[in-house]
Structure 1
Amino acid sequence: MENTPGFSSLLHHIAQHITLTDQDKELFIAMLRTKKVKRKQLIEQPGFISNHRTYVVTGAFRAYIVSPDGQEHTLSLAIDNGMIGDPGSFLLQEPATLFVEALEASTIIQWSYESEQILLEKIPQFSVAMMRRAQLIALTIQRRVIAQLSLTAEERYDEFAQKHPLLLQRIPLYIIASYLGMTREFLSKIRKQKITPKK
């Protein structure tokens, strides 16, 4: 089972934070379900409780909200070997506030809220892995807020391009603009200025 496509990469992802015994791995793998997702398919949406953790084996996703004026605001992005979801809905088991959409035809691995409770009970270290993931999410959010308040739009784009070159290749421009807090037209202008040689 560990050789099932994606399972080994997920185990490696978890093993970056904790050490799993062979018995732990068997229990964890027994909880996992692989799923194919079509492009533009929603795997989470407001009004429905998020009941799964989602690991992206291959593909690309975004999590976003829609403001009252109809504008979409992208909060997080994930491609191969990343995780995506509405953590608040999952942890509190209350209706989601985020849309989570596949940007490409994707393969994901999921485990349920109920399965996670069993894993937390049977594998005490599992809580450490989830806590460290939560810490990374909190750090990412903090850095984004600071960037929005202290950097220019061009500086935010430069930082994103430097840190996430693969996302820049895989994610549509209008979604990157939404993630960086600017219009698509303004982001296109920034990119054009960087490509066009200065006279």
Structure 2
Amino acid sequence: MSDFQPLLDYIKTFIELTKEEEAYFLSLLVLTKVKKRQFIVQPNFVCQHMNYVREGAMRSYLVDDKGIEHTIALAIEGWWINDCNSYIFQEPATFFVQALENSVIIQLSYQSEQLLLANIPKFERFFRITARCEVATIQKRVLSNISQSAEQRYEDFAMRYPALLNRIPQYAIASYLGFTTEFLSKIRNKKLKKG
């Protein structure tokens, strides 16, 4: 199996590709190994790649003016991660994107994406569908943050993303859900006592 096969299989659930189109697309991709704690995006630098997690786990976060980290997104195998505003508008990034484990990512550069869209317009459909799914996910998260208690947010997260609970560090999960690691520990202990 090709290193790019999981991404190719995912794309083929949305669009059909000829062998020639597939070969062209694959020629634009780069496989990159990322060590635990290594950054692939940092503030003030333009995000040059779309990043598909082939193996491992990553997170994007920002640091506020008080030095507090706020996790924006988490990603494991089969998920995309980057600083979307920086990538789309080719402006300096706001977020850090960091490996939480030794990881392997498949990267498509901004320039390569432009070539891909010019040469195989059906990729517009793929990117449109995935962007709409991302917007829906973000909307659900915002709604959850303003309408659910911390306990409900954690339970919803645990139900939707059970694979993340034992792989993602507790500080990153807590930050993603909008509370401290200590508060997350209290919620988990309370749940264990009930359970």
SS of residue paired to 1:33: strand
Distance 2:66 2:130 in 1: 32
Shift of 1:197: 4.3
**Aligned Cα RMSD in Å?**
1.0
Matched, 1:65 2:62: yes
Q: How does 1:10-159 map to 2 (within 5 A)?
A: 10-159=7-156
Distance 1:87 1:149 in 2: 23
Residue 189 of structure 1: aligned partner? 186
Shift of 1:140: 1.1
Could you report, residue by residue, the CA deviation over 1:176-197 in whole angstroms, capped at 9, with x for unpaired residues? 0000001111110000011124
TM-score (norm 1): 0.95
SS of residue paired to 1:84: coil
TM-score (norm 2): 0.97
SS of residue paired to 2:52: strand
Distance 2:54 2:131 in 1: 20
Gapped regions of structure 2 (runs ≥ 5)? none
Residue 164 of structure 2: aligned partner? 167
SS of residue paired to 2:166: helix
Gapped regions of structure 1 (runs ≥ 5)? none
Distance 1:115 1:79 in 2: 24
Runs (4 or more) in structure 1 with deviation over 4 Å come to none
Distance 2:128 2:41 in 1: 22
Shift of 1:4: 2.3
SS of residue paired to 2:71: strand
SS of residue paired to 1:64: strand
- Give the aligned length: 195
Q: Using the aligned pairs only, state the percent identity.
A: 48
SS of residue paired to 1:70: coil
Distance 2:129 2:65 in 1: 33
